[in-house]
Structure 1
């Protein structure tokens, strides 16, 4: 059985707050913020990526990272506030 939870919503809607709370309430689960995952993977802030590569390229990077994260178990993922838009655009 797959053990992942994905939280989506607008920026500032509480995904990170809820995700951290859920992870602490669920034994052995981890919260992962997709934006922070991207920043750590590419060693750049989201605004830097937008400025250097543009939104289209950022959304591709975001989707790539989400695919990578989808192999993790017992994880609660806070997707970026714009990610639902890229689901419509790229899929």
Structure 2
């Protein structure tokens, strides 16, 4: 991903990432991307119920780390203007 972003002239700290899946593998992948410079607030993670957002009451402690204060609810919403899609479902 870092090479692809470099080719596109984008910085990992400035891209919006959509992650389909919110299990252990997806959370580990997103944590790794954060260590590489991605911004947590620019990561939209989705599970079976849709976008993980701050108004959901069914989130595990691990999913809560990726809850955004957003009106996005569906994959289509999350993909609007996204730079990267990661499928870990």
| TM, length-normalised to structure 2 | 0.36
RCO higher in 1 or 2 (8 Å CA, sep ≥ 6)? Answer: 1
Question: Per residue, is there more helix in 1 or in 2?
Answer: 1
| TM, length-normalised to structure 1 | 0.36
